[in-house]
Chains A and B, each alone.
Chain A
Amino acid sequence: MNFNDYDPQGFYDELFKIKGEPRPGTKILIDRLMSFPKGEILRRQKAAEAALFNMGVTFTVYSDESGIEKIFPFDILPRIIEPGDWELIEKGLKQRIYALNLFIDDIYHDQKIIKDKIIPKDILYSSKCIQPHCQGLNPPKGIWCHITGSDLVRDADGRFYVLEDNLRCPSGVSYVLENRQVLKRTFPLVFGESAVRPVDDYPNRLSRMLEFLAPDTVESPTVALLTPGIHNSAYFEHSFLAQQTGIELVEGNDLVVQDGFVYMRTTKGFQKVDVIYRRIDDDFLDPLAFNPDSLLGVPGIMEVYKAGRLALANAPGTGVADDKVVYAYVPKIIKYYLDEDPILPNVPTYVCWDDKEREYVLNNLEKLVVKPANESGGYGMLMGTQSTPKQRAQFAEKIKENPRNYIAQPTLSLSRVPVIVDDDHYEGRHVDLRPYALYGEDIYIMPGGLTRVALKKGSLVVNSSQGGGSKDTWVLSNLPKK
């Protein structure tokens, strides 16, 4: 198994400039791989998989009845990001998150951006994720979106684009940390030579950020991570983060509201909780404020939050900013609040709510990717280039029925990386990138991220629920000297 025959086939390849010529930051790795004896790479791939399996790094697939636990497919070849690219990503994400935070705050207060006619009122009020309960709310330290994981993609032109923002409960960071652990064992020597920036500081930063949110009167705050429980597909991540940060992992039933505070039930009675990193959606957080049928949440918790006796990360109501229709307006949002041009561009987006743009979408379905405004996990999409006329006709009906719920984007030519295929050769597969940001005293972008890879040949869908896998992501602090 070697790279002599590996051909980027005209796609932007993250590791190879052209056939036979690795990118500058990748050369050390490729040279090392080429020097391995026959069978060695495969042996290391299997060892890495066994390690993940033994560690129980698994996720749950909803639609699969046979076995609910699977390891997230993992390919040992890392995706490498050179320092110049990363600098741009870091700056661009910070800018974007500052602007989105200002936007959310504005929406729940004066709504200047609507009064100034930058965003149509109708779009905002029809968003499923706007929370009337948050009107006038002042979250601790003025921060709404503490933890973000925006999805980036690189197009054929080599530029990074923001594909979507995740401002509610972005998941996946545990895989970044675990993948790194495994890869350090897999390629210890290459690691030493390649100046890879560490990701291990994330849990530290996370717990510092959460403590920063606690009410100022509390000296050593109790921080807890609220999980929907063991049957949630991201449960592994919840317990992993609690383990790595030392914060308590709680379920709704462990918490109780009494006398204006939130307490957890311990073997020695009630203990006050000051900060909650909640990994359950707004709708389930508090049956008294949101969905009354929720069994996952804590009755009365919103009142405690509003009274400033509890901090929640992320704040309720942030979903309004990752609505995919609002996404189309983010460049304008950045311009409006920061008076800056966006550093990271959006993917061009057609909003079906707009009559003209809908017309274009309906006439060009076979070229476009159509997405529902509020779904995640890659569900409910139409991939125009791979669809049948019948599917397109059905989708057109859906769009006409509920235009507000759909957006469309041109089909991008996502960049590729080599993966091991059939245990005997390398082939290019499409990837995206989800970096993680923490907004506390300042914004921290973890130097790394989750590289998701569409393992099916030709597929552009990287979601784990749709046959995607992951890779370790190396951000280099400098390029090797020639």
Chain B
Amino acid sequence: MLSRAANSIYWMARYIERAENIARFIDVNLHLMLDSPVESKGQWEPLVIVSGDRERFEEKYGQASRDNVINFLTFDRDNPNSIISSVINARENARTVREVISSQMWEQINKFYLMLLDAEKSGVAIDTPYDFYNKIKLESHLFIGITDTTMSHGEAWHFDRLGRLLERADKTSRILDVKYYMLLPRVEDVGTPIDNIGWAALLNSASAFEMYRKKYRKITPTDVALFLVLDLKFPRSIRYCLVKAQVSLHEITGTVMGTFTNKAERRLGRLRSDLDYANIDEIISVGLHEFLDGFQNKLNGVGDAIFDTFFSLRPTEKNKKDIEVSQ
């Protein structure tokens, strides 16, 4: 398929997944607010830090509060990673590949976008946030379901899944990281019910609470990390995402698993086997936050390699110069 089209599909999927996960971020916090003791209410800053856009936020809003963080992450068009920006970007990418995706997929993205425009006007995000962010998750799920059932599972579909899973792996790592920045009221609260409530909220925001419960009785930070980082069956765990992303990547190239013919295969394969042979105690002893940070960096490297391998315009020698200029 056309390199440009593959690129658009990959980003369309990433942006929809991004929108869904930002809704999940906000959801963690809303849950925490309901369950936390009074003195720790209103910790909205960690969300901004974890989203990676702290500077942009502080410049525009200053102090973090419920309303301005929600606005920044949801409707702020100046924030390229807000929900609305993500959906606009997904839609723009979809628009350039309408002939490749199914018309039902396009219609769903379009409806998602129109729903957000309505919500922006009506103020539901602030008034009934639980319903609203749940709706965003559902719109994304609907899109994924439609994609799965109306599009041939060929090259384009694998680019879609590759984009979605890499984005999801990144965002699960960030959801997990929220806890690192959440301040507990007192040092001695670590490991107490208050602390546990936080971990449960975190599982909830990754829709992981029930599945976690089936596997582990108690909520312990180590088991939560184990579940969200290394579980092989849970579809939002980081390792699960990488395993399936790798399948799609190799479906696209036709290269035998366990070998590589390009930079993208090599980097993704290496990152995946890091996780295959990782040990949760080792991760905890290095520090979960440090581990996640390193992981996000390597994942960015995979993204760059995918761009170089498939999407960058590979010019002929003769006109190499012109094309570089026009990019």
Q: Are B114's CB and A251's CB within 8 A?
A: no
Contact of B318 among A249, A258, A265 (CB under 8 A): A258
Q: Chain B residues near A256 (CB, 8 Å)?
A: 315-316, 319
B201 within 8 A of A: no
Please report the total number of B residues contacting A with Cβ < 8 Å. Answer: 30
Q: Are B106's CB and A56's CB within 8 A?
A: yes
B41 within 8 A of A: no
Which stretch, B2-10, B17-25, B131-139, B295-303, touches the partner chain A? B2-10
B76 within 8 A of A: no
Q: Are A55's CB and B99's CB within 8 A?
A: no
Nearest-CB residue, chain B, relative to A235: B95
B40 within 8 A of A: no
Q: Are B110's CB and A54's CB within 8 A?
A: yes
How many Cβ-Cβ contacts under 8 Å join chain A to chain B?
68
Contact of B110 among A56, A239, A295 (CB under 8 A): A56
Within 8 A of A (CB), among B295-326: 310, 313-316, 318-319, 322-323, 326
CA distance A295 to B315 in the complex (A): 16
Knowing A253-B323, A266-B3 are in contact, say whether A54-B98 is a contact too (CB < 8 A). no
Q: Chain B residues near A299 (CB, 8 Å)?
A: 319, 322
A284 within 8 A of B: no
Q: Chain B residues near A254 (CB, 8 Å)?
A: 2-4
Task: Name the distance in Å between A150's Cβ and chain B's nearest Cβ.
Answer: 27
How large, as a class, is the contact surface on chain A? 20 to 34
Task: Name the distance in Å between A207's Cβ and chain B's nearest Cβ.
Answer: 12
CA distance A55 to B104 in the complex (A): 9
A228-250 vs B, CB cutoff 8 Å, 1 = contact: the mask equals 00100001000110110000111
Q: Are B314's CB and A265's CB within 8 A?
A: yes
B252 within 8 A of A: yes
CA distance A256 to B323 in the complex (A): 10
Contact of A265 among B96, B107, B114, B313 (CB under 8 A): B313
CA distance A190 to B310 in the complex (A): 51
CA distance A256 to B313 in the complex (A): 10
CA distance A249 to B9 in the complex (A): 14
Q: Are A230's CB and B95's CB within 8 A?
A: yes
B45 within 8 A of A: no
A267 within 8 A of B: yes
A53, A243, A251 interface centre (most CB from chain B within 10 Å): A243
B223 within 8 A of A: no
A387-410 vs B, CB cutoff 8 Å, 1 = contact: the mask equals 000000000000000000000000
Q: Are A250's CB and B2's CB within 8 A?
A: yes
Task: Name the distance in Å between B215's Cβ and chain A's nearest Cβ.
Answer: 39
Task: Name the distance in Å between A417's Cβ and chain B's nearest Cβ.
Answer: 29
Knowing A54-B107, A55-B107, A256-B315 are in contact, say whether A267-B6 is a contact too (CB < 8 A). yes
Task: Name the distance in Å between A131's Cβ and chain B's nearest Cβ.
Answer: 24
Q: Chain A residues near B111 (CB, 8 Å)?
A: 54
Task: Name the distance in Å between B117's Cβ and chain A's nearest Cβ.
Answer: 11
- With A265-B313, A265-B314 given, can you name 11 additional A-B contacts, CB distance below 8 Å? A54-B110, A54-B111, A55-B106, A56-B95, A230-B95, A254-B3, A265-B2, A266-B1, A266-B3, A267-B6, A295-B326
Top 4 A-B pairs, shortest CB-CB distance = A242-B99, A243-B99, A239-B98, A56-B110
Q: Which residues of B line the A interface, CB within 8 A?
A: 1-6, 92, 95-99, 103, 106-107, 110-111, 114, 155, 252, 310, 313-316, 318-319, 322-323, 326
Q: Which residues of A line the B interface, CB within 8 A?
A: 53-56, 230, 235, 239-240, 242-243, 248-251, 253-254, 256, 258, 264-267, 269, 295, 299
